[in-house]
Amino acid sequence: MVELTIDGIKTRVSEGTTVLEAASEMGITIPTLCYYHGLSCYGECRVCLVEVVKGDRSSLEASCTLPVEQGQVILTDSEKARKARKVIVELLLASCPNSKTLQDMAANMGINKIRFKIKDRGCILCGRCVRYCKEQMKSGGIGFVGRGTSRRVATAFDVTPEECRNCGGCEWICPVCEKACMAESLIDGLCGGCQNLAPVETCLVCTGCSESVGPQGHRVYK
């Protein structure tokens, strides 16, 4: 057993647990994107950054791949961590402005402008589809090809692979194609959460119509 402190609360978890898992056992939610329950941890998106305090210094680490350590002090909701996550979601949105998952996340984090040049790439390279195909379907029909800016998800030689079982799982698990953001126009790269779609008069109480709306919810018009 390892003892650590998350957001000021002491907890004991078994060795080999990740900080993300330890936090969620305590009911603390850390936003995640490339992490998916049942798939291996990949640590690509960095949305799950937390602050790890070491004496009077601190560093930012991806909680989904960070193993717990004895005496670790973690802050999941510090100013530093939140600021870093915001920049990351902004960057991800700049490359996938039509992802509803990302737009919701941005609305939830109170991002009000994308400061980066928007270039829709249709994929954030989170690798969820690739890991799903390999680990859950035991197929390995899709994978990453290329490197750097030309890295993309593809099938071998761009033909339907023999290994593919046509399960559709790769599309289902994708945070970009799974649910497209229906907003017609983006302002500063943002849709404004689902407020764009819901007429102001009707959205009096938040029914949580959007799955990924967190505890803060959206701004509800009165």
Partner 1 sequence: MVNDYEKVKAIVDRYGGKHASVIAILQDVQSEYHYLPEHALRAVAGQLRLPLIQVCGVATFFKAFSLKPRGEHTVTVCLGTACHVRGAPAVLDEAKRQLGIEPGNTTDDMRFTLETVNCLGACALGPIVVVDDEYQGQMGPRKVKKVLNKYKKTPRDRRHAEIVVSS
161 touches partner 1 by CB under 8 A: yes
Q: Which does 125 bind (CB under 5 to 8 A by kind): partner 1, ligand SF4, ligand FES, none?
A: ligand SF4
Which CB contacts under 8 angstroms, 24+ apart, belong to 130-138?
130/170, 131/36, 131/39, 131/40, 131/42, 132/36, 132/39, 132/169, 132/170, 132/173, 133/169, 133/170, 135/38, 135/39, 135/40, 136/38, 136/39, 136/169, 137/165, 137/167, 137/169
Helix (H, G, I), strand (E, B) or coil at 54: strand
Q: How far apart are CA 166 and CA 144, in angstroms?
A: 19
The answer to the question of residue 128 lying near partner 1 (CB under 8 A) is no
Selected range binding ligand SF4 among 22-30, 86-94, 129-137, 179-187, rule: CB under 6 A: 129-137
For ligand SF4, the binding residues in 86-125 under the rule CB under 6 A are 123-125
Q: Which stretch binds ligand SF4 (CB under 6 A): 22-30, 108-116, 138-146, 184-192?
A: 138-146
Choose from partner 1, ligand FES, ligand SF4, none: what does 64 bind? Cβ within 5-8 Å by kind.
Answer: ligand FES
Q: Which stretch binds ligand SF4 (CB under 6 A): 49-57, 60-68, 158-166, 180-188?
A: 158-166
Least distance in Å: CB of 147 to partner 1?
5
Residues near 45 by beta carbon (within 8 Å), at least 6 away in sequence: 32, 33, 34, 88, 92, 124, 126
Least CB distance from residue 150 to ligand SF4, whole Å?
A: 14
DSSP for residue 55: T
How far apart are the C-alpha atoms of 150 and 33, rounded to whole Å? 21
Residues at the contact surface with partner 1, assessed by CB under 8 A: 134, 139-147, 154-157, 161, 163
Residues at the contact surface with ligand SF4, assessed by CB under 6 A: 123-129, 132-133, 137, 139, 141-142, 153, 164-170, 173-176, 193-195, 198, 203, 206-210, 213, 217-218, 220
